[in-house]
Amino acid sequence: MFNTTHPEVLDAVRRALEEDIGTGDVTTELTVPAERRASGAFYAREPMVVAGAELLPVIYELLGGVESIELLKHSGDRAEPGGCIARVRGSARLLLTAERTALNFIQRLSGVATLARQFSEAVAGTKCRILDTRKTTPGLRALEKMAAAAGGITNHRQGLFDAILIKNNHITAAGGVRAALSAVAGQTIPVEIEVRTLAELDEALECGARRLLLDNLTPEQASGWVARIAGRATIELSGGITLETARAYAEAGADFVSAGAITHSARALDINFRLALD
């Protein structure tokens, strides 16, 4: 689930370490003897779905390696307050230098995974699946989408390159729904089009659109549009959908509900690192 060999992941970890350490961890180097050994453990301090624990071996290896590391929770696992996520043993200096980078990643990614799980559970029992979006932290998309998947939702497109999503501004620039759909005819990657009015909806269906994005409708409006589509296309609903409203949109008949909040508004969760000398 968490691909720690992905080039973007490795690059993100390297950049995070460089950002934090710079020319050296002066506090640790001045106060902690080089030969001192220690053990450390990461503990959840609130309920969460863990994500990103698999980055710990990568972080420590980039700093020179540790003697042992044990992951007690993996991405997608639940952790309760006081639950241990991982244990590590090695140079006290290394463990202290890595502490903040390690916590930053796991806290942020566990926040995404936890919110994703809440959205997934909100639509349980319906046919609807939750999608994430491209509203991610610049440079961390691969990691945040892995965390979202660990929470149990479905990844939407990774970027502008792996699917065609014709949105309202594309329609305007192309000269209309028919012109936009004609321009992408024959493409082998997925094609989806946003429709803003019932006239655009009808035109898209007449042109053979098989996946429609309906944005900023109320659940009641969405239900009427779904009835009009009558199974001729799969339907994604989006636009300000929250945990409180997700189920209403799912019950309106959506095949997918997309929620940018899963990545752009997830709260970093509280995880503590405790060090003990050997």
Q: List the beta bridge partners of residue 256.
A: 129, 236
Q: Is 194 noted as a catalytic residue in this protein? A: yes
7-119+266-277 and 121-264: identical CATH topology: no
**First CA to last CA across the chain, in angstroms?**
34
Task: Look up the pTM and report it.
Answer: 0.96
At 147, is the pLDDT very low, low, confident or very high (cuts 50, 70, 90)? very high
Q: Which residue among 46, 215, 251, 270 is the active-site one?
A: 215
pLDDT in tens, 109-128: 999 999 999 999 999 999 99
Angstrom distance (rounded) from CA 44 to CA 50: 9
Burial category of 202 from C-beta neighbours within 10 Å (exposed 0-12, middle 13-18, buried 19 and up): middle
Hey, what amino acid is at 86? A
Q: Is 135 noted as a catalytic residue in this protein? A: yes
Calculate the average pLDDT of the chain: 97
Q: Which residue among 37, 89, 100, 134 is the active-site one?
A: 100
According to CATH, the topology of domain 121-264 is: TIM Barrel (3.20.20)
Which CATH number among 3.30.420.130, 3.30.460.10, 2.60.40.1730, 3.90.1170.20 corresponds to the domain 7-119+266-277? 3.90.1170.20
pLDDT in tens, 160-206: 999 999 999 999 999 999 999 999 999 999 999 999 999 999 999 99
Q: Which residue among 78, 87, 129, 167 is the active-site one?
A: 167
Q: Is 210 noted as a catalytic residue in this protein? A: no
Number of Cβ atoms within 10 Å of the Cβ of 240: 10
Would you say residue 259 has pLDDT above 80?
yes
Read off the tokens for 253.
Answer: 């008949």
Read off the tokens for 108.
Answer: 């942020």
Q: Is 215 noted as a catalytic residue in this protein? A: yes
Angstrom distance (rounded) from CA 132 to CA 259: 6
Question: DSSP label at 264?
Answer: H
DSSP state letters, 171-222: HHHHTSHHHHHHHTTT-SS-EEEEE-SHHHHHHHHHTT--EEEEES--HHHH
Q: Is 167 noted as a catalytic residue in this protein? A: yes
Mean pLDDT confidence for 82-102: 98
Angstrom distance (rounded) from CA 63 to CA 52: 18
Q: In 3D, which of 66, 47, 48 has the Cα closest to residue 57?
A: 66
Runs of H (alpha helix) within 3-159: 7-21, 26-31, 55-62, 92-122, 141-150
SS3 call for 131: strand
Domain edges within the chain: 7-119+266-277, 121-264
Q: Which residue among 25, 54, 132, 194 is the active-site one?
A: 194
At 69, is the pLDDT very low, low, confident or very high (cuts 50, 70, 90)? very high
Read off the tokens for 266.
Answer: 């997830």
At 1, is the pLDDT very low, low, confident or very high (cuts 50, 70, 90)? confident
Q: Which residue among 37, 45, 134, 135 is the active-site one?
A: 135
Would you say residue 78 has pLDDT above 90?
yes
